[in-house]
Structure 1
Amino acid sequence: MKKYIFIISAVFLTLLSCDKDYNSIGSNIIGEGNYNFEKYEAQNIKAYTKPTGAVQSNNLPINALGVFQNPFFGQNVASFVTQVELDDTDPILGYDIEMQSIDSVYLYIPYFSHLDPNNDAVGNDPNLYILDSISGDSQLPFDLKIYESGYYLANNDVNDPTQGQKYFSDEKSTIENNLVSTPLNNSSDVLQNNNFLFSNDEIIIYETDGNGQKVDNEGNPVTDPADWVIKDRMDPGMWLDLDKNFFLNKVLLANSNNLLNNNNFKEYFRGLYFQVNPIASNAAQAQMDFSKGYIVIQYHSKADTNSTTELKKKTLKLNLKGNTINFFENTNSSNYQTILDASDPVNGDATLALRGQVGSGAFIELFDQNELDNLRSKNWLINDAILTINVKDLGQTNASRIYLYDATNNTYIYDYYLDPTTNYDNKLNKYTFGGLLENNSETGEKKYRIKITSHIRNLLNTDVDELAENVLLGLVVTEDINVSTLRSIKNTTTFGNELIPTSSIMGPTGTVLYGTNVSAADIAKKMKLDIYYTEPK
């Protein structure tokens, strides 16, 4: 088996280097196929939509937070819970610990962002940034509350300790029934809680004196911002001031055994819950790497018990690491629900709807047995195979990429595996495999194309049974083409499969497509598979 894969890889790379119609990094468009070859269009392709229902959403590589209203699919609300770890275990906190007025507790989680090309900041001017991975309207707020969670997120399944614990996207009540604090982000600044906004502002921290006043280079308090000394500059991110008394009592004054190691600490302080509630139907939702986030606790203490020892300012850092769960709540639009209700696995669907997170995917059957047997009998040399799927414009915001996989064996197909292409934007990696949204600026038509040459070559010509299997293909939106792992479906009857690609759970985007059982008026838009071949002499 490994030998066979190596041979296929070598052949694929040779073809890739010679095929002038393959996509370039700049265009992100798959070639139309080599017209020096004959072309065959699959006759009996069938596709249909299936809703996922609740999905396994613990320990995702990237998590969502916020409110997103897709113009076609409806509203999605994403909340999140995470464990917390000590940056340094068994810390030496000092004696006579107290929090003074100049001390604070803050949380920081960087957003995905990049410098604005028009940035011309100099000196103390803040740099201009553009936020990445934000869906919706970032100028509209939502209600954000952060609580201490009293529910322990286990590593392993209680009933089978050899298996990792699975948590699902609809288990929000498990956490909310075990909250053990009032909201911790209780700042008087409503932009940090009741009217939270994702901000693209650079975060600048200035040097201060013992009274919290900003100072110049000589340590003198000054009021002119031009004279302030910058201590640190941080990329845009979630910055929340948290309840000082809570962290004083919960962490700084905790029994030392609770701070001895992170196993003890996570049993004692079981995590933080980021609860999202909509204010309006729409706002914004961000994809975030919470593991890059942390909490800084500022306090004062003495180095020893001597009554004359001076109180010194210190900090303790907590990292947002450990087990996590993302919770998703959908309010489906009537139009989207109509497509889900019309799913027809027997005859195929006229319209396919793919939606991320807790949404829907499609299944594709490329050939019936008669057509497959006929094609195998021809012994064609397969040069190219392209699956073309046209976008049906029903007012939706379309996903930038879709992902085709083997839904019978729950794995990637060979064309994905064999594609070595990379891009400066890693979301555009494997661009030869395709699945990127293509927009015809002249006609306004949109489509996705996916090269499945190796898959068809194996299906028609190989003697290796597992490669020649006429597998059911799955089609989903993807937030990250580089992630090919899969997660469990809670109700397999709903989706018709036990697993779904992890990358489809990581983002809220969706797309609507022409299917295979289309009307006569839409026949030109029907999903199609073109196979380019050479007949044997």
Structure 2
Amino acid sequence: MKRKKVLGFLGLMLLSLVSCDKDFNTVGADLIGDGNYNFNRYPVQHLTAYTRATGPVQTNNMPLNALGVFEDPVFGTTKASFVTQLELNSTDPDLGIDIEIQAIDSVYLYVPYFSTLEDTDDSGNNTYSLDSIHGNLSDSFDLKIYESGYLLRSYDAVNPSEIQRYYSDDKNLIEGNLVSTQLNTSTNTSQNNQFKFLGDEIVIYETDGEGHFLDSDGNTTIDFSQRVVKERMKPGMWLDLDKNHFLTRVLEANSTDLFNNNNFKEYFRGLYFQVTPNSGAAGALAKLDFSSGYIVIQYHSRASASADLKKKSLKLNLSGNTVNFLDNTYNTNYQNVLNTANSNDEMLYLKGGNGSVAFIDLFGTDDTDGNGVADELDEIREHGWMVNDAVLTFTIANDVINFDEEAKRIYLYDATNNTVLLDYTYDSTTASDAKYNKYVFGGILEVDDNDVGTVYKFRLLYYINNLLQSEDIEDLKNIRLGLAVTETIANVANYNLRNTFDLPVAIPSGSADFTVETVPLSSIMNPLGTVVYGNDPSVLEENRLKLEIYYTEPN
């Protein structure tokens, strides 16, 4: 049967109308047919969906990285450590002569947290609320910083034309090559063995270079209220580091080691942030942009033999190659889910990091005529429907998941071709928070009047229309979608799995095994998870995964 590649006019009207409204309205129920058209809703009958574990995932050079400990009552405990290279802010620096670090000098590391300014008082003091931190902020974990002796390569050593990949379970590469003792040994234990993510503004005051605070007239003062503020910094990780180590390893390094950053990264191979849970503490885990962090080395030196000692500083950026290490201790129930390879699950467990994703066959796997297309899709195509909307709904298993730490958005993608769906591409809607852009395409957590999560919905108008109108039979074979939690809807890159795995073929006739090699990067960056119902017959009908197609049929 020949079909015109026509997108329904009503569908276009619908998308233009909903593009300014985040709410998912019931489409089709209120449409009234006239003498020429009948408006109908068709619930797809043969959906299948199932969970699969990702195993270790690629985690080098991600835009965001996790650090800390997160205890999830559904999925278990995640421990996230991190390693990064350092780069000189200014290469080939003139450090002077007679270099020394005095008692009034310091070496500190700063990495800002994601935060929102809430208030500023009359004295200019700022109050912030922290964002992207999960768990209990009052809980601590043990944080140790070491110099790493392992060179993080940019390109594969065997095949230099290939980008080097590092994975979430590669921690032993670093821990087997540490070249320093612990560097964050401050007597302030909130910087090391009782580390906490603190939300206080960080204030630096003007001094005379000799360790004395200055007032507005430039005079030294011991009166706290008279101190002049030099800099106000957003809340962040502030760690005082071992001064002698950085004197020896950086300030007294050979000039060739500081000449450029390639030399420096070969010489000083990076910092390792090692995380260990504290007994009796659930801990907390933050998503951080380490590339915005830096180290400041304060020191004194002379410009010449006859010059006075002057205070100076050298800045190192937390730049270059990075790797995030993720250790999971799964809860028994979740581990059992991962160990059971079903072809149609009662519940779908989605977890970020090295967790789990789901795969969906929208029209099942029956293919009695052997044409490589699901029988239900064949039948629908024969009707010549003009699709006005298509909505895929995932109902949240609220008796399983804890809403307080539930993924606020999930991502639906073309797992066959590892790319976005047409509806993602055509959706240009934006929100005040960029994480909620493309809200017509959907995947955003919907809540009821009690702020309890209810469903995630996706609109698949363009995708379903393409399936029904396409003349190319190859477009219809092995139709499989992927579903994962997402940190940001804007990032649709894919990262590799250490161990690929095969899924059952979508349509048995003549198809090869479906091999999964990648997962969305945005899922790896998000430590949270969610649990939604699948389409197994054991699920109550009102909770089942459902795809509803709203269409116009000529009389």
| TM, length-normalised to structure 1 | 0.93
1:121 aligns with 2:125: no
Instruction: Map residues 102-251 of structure 1 onto 2, 5 A cutoff.
Output: 102-116=104-118, 119-123=119-123, 126-251=125-250
Instruction: Give the counterpart of 2:544 among 501, 523, 526.
Output: 526
How many Å separate the matches in 2 of 1:132 and 1:197? 14
How many Å separate the matches in 2 of 1:423 and 1:379? 36
User: What is the CA distance between 1:121 and its match in structure 2?
Assistant: 1.5
Cα distance change on mapping 1:294 and 1:351 into 2, 3 Å: same
Residue matched to 2:379 = 374
Contact conserved, 1:215 with 1:228, CA < 8 A, in 2? yes
Instruction: Map residues 491-502 of structure 1 onto 2, 5 A cutoff.
Output: 491-493=499-501, 496-502=515-521
How many Å separate the matches in 1 of 2:42 and 2:194? 57
Residue matched to 1:339 = 337
Which runs of 4 or more aligned residues in structure 1 lie more than 6 Å from their structure 2 counterparts after TM superposition?
Answer: 7-13
Residue matched to 2:471 = 463
1:282 aligns with 2:270: no
Once the two structures are superposed, residues 225-250 of structure 1 have per-residue CA deviations (whole angstroms, 9 ceiling, x without a partner) of 22110000011111111111011010
User: What is the CA distance between 1:122 and its match in structure 2?
Assistant: 1.9
1:353 aligns with 2:353: no
Contact conserved, 1:207 with 1:214, CA < 8 A, in 2? yes
How many Å separate the matches in 1 of 2:487 and 2:335? 23
How many Å separate the matches in 2 of 1:344 and 1:43? 19
The residue type paired with residue 109 of structure 1 is V
How many Å separate the matches in 2 of 1:401 and 1:234? 31
Instruction: Map residues 349-498 of structure 1 onto 2, 5 A cutoff.
Output: 349-368=345-364, 369-393=374-398, 394-396=400-402, 397-441=405-449, 444=452, 446-464=454-472, 467-493=475-501, 496-498=515-517
Q: Partner of 1:285: helix, strand, or coil?
A: strand
How many Å separate the matches in 1 of 2:499 and 2:276? 26
The residue type paired with residue 470 of structure 2 is T
Contact conserved, 2:88 with 2:261, CA < 8 A, in 1? yes
Instruction: Map residues 296-335 of structure 1 onto 2, 5 A cutoff.
Output: 296-304=296-304, 306=305, 308-335=306-333
Residue matched to 1:262 = 261
User: What is the CA distance between 1:379 and its match in structure 2?
Assistant: 1.0
Residue matched to 2:64 = 62
1:293 aligns with 2:293: yes
Once the two structures are superposed, residues 144-203 of structure 1 have per-residue CA deviations (whole angstroms, 9 ceiling, x without a partner) of 011000000001111211110000000101100000001111111100001000011001
Cα distance change on mapping 1:9 and 1:62 into 2, 3 Å: farther
Instruction: Map residues 73-88 of structure 1 onto 2, 5 A cutoff.
Output: 73-88=75-90
Q: Partner of 1:246: helix, strand, or coil?
A: helix
Q: Partner of 1:498: helix, strand, or coil?
A: strand
How many Å separate the matches in 2 of 1:215 and 1:442? 53
Cα distance change on mapping 1:442 and 1:284 into 2, 3 Å: closer
Q: Partner of 2:25: helix, strand, or coil?
A: coil
Structure 2 unaligned spans of 5+: 32-38, 365-373, 504-514
User: What is the CA distance between 1:328 and its match in structure 2?
Assistant: 0.3
User: What is the CA distance between 1:282 and its match in structure 2?
Assistant: 1.2
Cα distance change on mapping 1:220 and 1:442 into 2, 3 Å: closer
User: What is the CA distance between 1:210 and its match in structure 2?
Assistant: 3.6
Once the two structures are superposed, residues 70-119 of structure 1 have per-residue CA deviations (whole angstroms, 9 ceiling, x without a partner) of 11111000000001000000111111111111111111111110012xx2
RMSD value, Cα: 2.1
Contact conserved, 1:478 with 1:504, CA < 8 A, in 2? yes
Contact conserved, 1:351 with 1:518, CA < 8 A, in 2? no
Contact conserved, 1:150 with 1:270, CA < 8 A, in 2? yes
Contact conserved, 1:150 with 1:271, CA < 8 A, in 2? yes
Contact conserved, 2:11 with 2:388, CA < 8 A, in 1? no
The residue type paired with residue 455 of structure 2 is K
The residue type paired with residue 241 of structure 1 is D
User: What is the CA distance between 1:316 and its match in structure 2?
Assistant: 0.6
How many Å separate the matches in 2 of 1:175 and 1:157? 17
Instruction: Give the counterpart of 2:523 among 504, 507, 532.
Output: 504
How many Å separate the matches in 2 of 1:121 and 1:466? 64
Cα distance change on mapping 1:160 and 1:340 into 2, 3 Å: same
Q: Partner of 2:377: helix, strand, or coil?
A: helix
Contact conserved, 1:380 with 1:535, CA < 8 A, in 2? yes
User: What is the CA distance between 1:464 and its match in structure 2?
Assistant: 4.6
How many Å separate the matches in 1 of 2:8 and 2:289? 34
How many Å separate the matches in 2 of 1:206 and 1:275? 31
Q: Partner of 1:128: helix, strand, or coil?
A: strand
Q: Partner of 1:497: helix, strand, or coil?
A: strand
Residue matched to 2:28 = 34
User: What is the CA distance between 1:281 and its match in structure 2?
Assistant: 5.0
Structure 1 unaligned spans of 5+: none
User: What is the CA distance between 1:336 and its match in structure 2?
Assistant: 1.1
How many Å separate the matches in 1 of 2:267 and 2:9? 54
Residue matched to 2:367 = none
How many Å separate the matches in 2 of 1:374 and 1:533? 15
How many Å separate the matches in 1 of 2:477 and 2:502? 25
How many Å separate the matches in 2 of 1:498 and 1:9? 36
Contact conserved, 2:115 with 2:128, CA < 8 A, in 1? yes
Q: Partner of 1:257: helix, strand, or coil?
A: helix
How many Å separate the matches in 2 of 1:23 and 1:70? 35
The residue type paired with residue 302 of structure 1 is R
The residue type paired with residue 293 of structure 1 is G
Cα distance change on mapping 1:405 and 1:509 into 2, 3 Å: same
Q: Partner of 1:530: helix, strand, or coil?
A: strand
Contact conserved, 1:50 with 1:494, CA < 8 A, in 2? no
How many Å separate the matches in 2 of 1:388 and 1:98? 65
How many Å separate the matches in 2 of 1:172 and 1:243? 23
Residue matched to 1:271 = 270
How many Å separate the matches in 1 of 2:178 and 2:362? 50
User: What is the CA distance between 1:463 and its match in structure 2?
Assistant: 2.2
Q: Partner of 2:151: helix, strand, or coil?
A: coil
Cα distance change on mapping 1:171 and 1:445 into 2, 3 Å: closer
Length, aligned pairs only: 520
How many Å separate the matches in 2 of 1:443 and 1:129? 24
Cα distance change on mapping 1:13 and 1:188 into 2, 3 Å: farther
Q: Which is worse superposed, 435-444 or 57-66?
A: 435-444
| TM, length-normalised to structure 2 | 0.90
Identity rate of aligned residues, in percent?
52
Cα distance change on mapping 1:11 and 1:263 into 2, 3 Å: farther
Cα distance change on mapping 1:13 and 1:78 into 2, 3 Å: farther
User: What is the CA distance between 1:418 and its match in structure 2?
Assistant: 1.2
How many Å separate the matches in 2 of 1:192 and 1:445? 36
Contact conserved, 1:207 with 1:228, CA < 8 A, in 2? yes
